[in-house]
């Protein structure tokens, strides 16, 4: 393995390890004086897809069946809310329930909420369709920012106030409108809105990872996702685009908890396993350790496709998209790394970015995965 020069790496210790696939241990506080270890599994699926209930093809039953047969652990159908009738919304929820078998496959029913002139947000975890806001685009433009009474904060507040609801920013930087379609620079963050918006699409018909970093730097605590946004009846295609959720079991509420907590990663490889911790806390965690002199990161990466994919670069990334450490693994062997990271400069977060060469991308090197960050508390 070759260590590449980073900005603030103090030391790198490499330990080879074999760990059961898709198992991930973390710690959860159970009481004032009691800590219970939680074993997180890695569950692969897609959180953005469509059927003929809006502008897609096929019925929800077709989508869930195809996804399950393709080996996915979960699929969310997110038809456009303004095209859904009440009967279709009920039928979508019923189909999600019918095709869910705990421990085998989870169907989710969500919808894509349209913000005129801005973008779209997926909403999950609620049986209620958000109402039309009744605002026009002219009511909320003000230069490259938005006015306080605008549609975006209204939607954030609706999600925050709806029990169980989870929001995801969809396809930022779309359609050639870099201000509006990047959610107006991710303004209007509050603690309540932050807790409502759990995810952002890092990949949807192309790379959108610059928006992921922009949202992190704006203070939003969330995870990246990679979605197919399928409209053509090819749910969970061989392209390998997946969102991976870290949860104790393959049950819908456990997956929803992972989405709310931002505990997971985005990948363009259908079976790339990543485990990332800082000071013993899993991706998506907040250390609440401001001012620490150093942090200890642990990374484990495994790609079972030894004959095809090649991991060429692993980076630890911090504020403002700065790579603080990077290295090249030895092939695709299971890797367990312990890395000491400098706390100087009060970094707010760290996440992992993985680059591979794969037949799926024409044997060209490209970024393949992004994890949720671990927040330091700075």
Residue 226 reports pLDDT greater than 70: yes
Task: Say what the pTM is.
Answer: 0.88
Check residues 303 and 132 and name the one with the higher pLDDT: 303
The answer on 292 and 229 residing in a single domain is: no
pLDDT score for 315: 96
Domain boundary among 239, 267, 295: 267
The answer on 282 and 233 residing in a single domain is: no
Give CA–CA dist 247/194, Å, rounded.
Answer: 21
Q: What is the DSSP string of 250-309?
A: S-HHHHHHHHHHT-EEEESSTT-EEEEEETTEETT-B---TT-SEEEEEEEEE-S-TTT-
Check residues 25 and 112 and name the one with the higher pLDDT: 112
The answer on 136 and 48 residing in a single domain is: yes
pLDDT score for 164: 97
pLDDT score for 133: 64
Ranking 91-95, 114-118, 200-204 by mean pLDDT, the lowest is 114-118
Domain boundary among 242, 267, 292: 267
Give CA–CA dist 19/308, Å, rounded.
Answer: 22
Domain boundary among 267, 299, 330: 267
The answer on 186 and 55 residing in a single domain is: yes
Residue 337 reports pLDDT greater than 80: yes
Beta bridge partners of 206: none
253 pLDDT band (50/70/90 cuts)? very high
Question: How many domains in the chain?
Answer: 2
The answer on 110 and 16 residing in a single domain is: no
CATH number at residue 21: 2.60.40
Check residues 29 and 188 and name the one with the higher pLDDT: 188
Nearest to 38 by CA among 26, 22, 30: 26
CATH number at residue 184: 3.20.20.140
Give the chain's mean pLDDT: 85
The answer on 141 and 45 residing in a single domain is: yes
The answer on 245 and 98 residing in a single domain is: yes
363 pLDDT band (50/70/90 cuts)? confident
219 pLDDT band (50/70/90 cuts)? very high
The answer on 345 and 290 residing in a single domain is: yes
Ranking 121-135, 171-185, 302-316 by mean pLDDT, the lowest is 171-185
Residue 296 reports pLDDT greater than 70: yes
Residue 244 reports pLDDT greater than 60: yes
**Structural domain for 68, as ranges:** 39-267
pLDDT score for 344: 92
The answer on 21 and 103 residing in a single domain is: no
Give CA–CA dist 111/56, Å, rounded.
Answer: 13
Ranking 7-11, 226-230, 252-256 by mean pLDDT, the lowest is 7-11
The answer on 171 and 46 residing in a single domain is: yes
The answer on 161 and 47 residing in a single domain is: yes
Give percent of the chain with pLDDT exceeding 90.
65
Q: Are 179 and 144 in contact (CB under 8 A)?
A: yes
The answer on 78 and 150 residing in a single domain is: yes
187 CB contacts (<8 Å, ≥6 apart)? 145, 146, 152, 218
């Amino acid at each position: 393995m070759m260590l590449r020069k980073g900005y603030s790496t103090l030391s790198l210790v490499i330990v080879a390890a074999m760990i059961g696939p898709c198992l991930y241990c973390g710690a959860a506080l159970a009481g004032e004086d009691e800590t219970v270890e939680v074993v997180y599994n890695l569950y692969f699926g897609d959180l953005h897809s469509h059927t003929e209930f809006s502008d897609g093809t096929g019925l929800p039953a077709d989508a869930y069946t195809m996804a399950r047969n393709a080996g996915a652990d979960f699929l969310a159908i997110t038809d456009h809310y303004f095209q859904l009738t009440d009967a279709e919304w009920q039928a979508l929820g019923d189909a999600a329930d019918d095709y869910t078998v705990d421990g085998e496959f989870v169907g989710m029913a969500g919808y894509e909420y349209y913000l005129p002139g801005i973008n779209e947000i997926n909403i999950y975890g609620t049986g209620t369709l958000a109402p039309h806001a009744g605002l026009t685009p002219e009511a909320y433009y003000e230069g490259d920012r938005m006015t306080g009474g605008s549609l975006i904060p209204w939607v954030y507040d609706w999600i925050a106030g709806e029990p169980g609801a989870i929001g995801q920013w969809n396809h930022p930087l779309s359609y050639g409108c870099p201000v509006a379609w990047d959610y107006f620079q991710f303004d209007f963050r509050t603690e309540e809105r932050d807790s409502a918006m759990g995810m952002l699409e890092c990949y949807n018909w192309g790379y959108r990872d610059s928006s992921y970093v922009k949202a992190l730097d704006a203070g939003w605590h969330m995870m990246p996702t990679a979605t197919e946004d399928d409209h053509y009846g090819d749910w969970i295609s061989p392209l390998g685009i997946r969102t991976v959720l870290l949860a104790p079991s393959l049950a819908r509420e456990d997956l929803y908890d992972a989405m709310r907590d931002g505990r997971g990663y985005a990948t363009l490889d259908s079976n790339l396993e990543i485990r990332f911790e800082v000071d013993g806390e899993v991706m998506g965690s907040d250390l609440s350790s401001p001012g620490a002199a150093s942090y200890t990161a642990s990374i484990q990466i495994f790609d079972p496709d030894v004959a095809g994919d090649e991991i060429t670069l692993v980076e630890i990334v911090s504020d403002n998209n700065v790579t603080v450490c990077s290295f090249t693994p030895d092939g695709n062997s299971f890797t367990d790394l312990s890395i000491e990271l400098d706390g100087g400069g009060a970094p707010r977060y760290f996440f992992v970015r993985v680059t591979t060469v794969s037949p799926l991308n024409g044997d060209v090197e490209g970024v393949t995965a992004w994890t949720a960050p671990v927040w330091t508390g700075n």
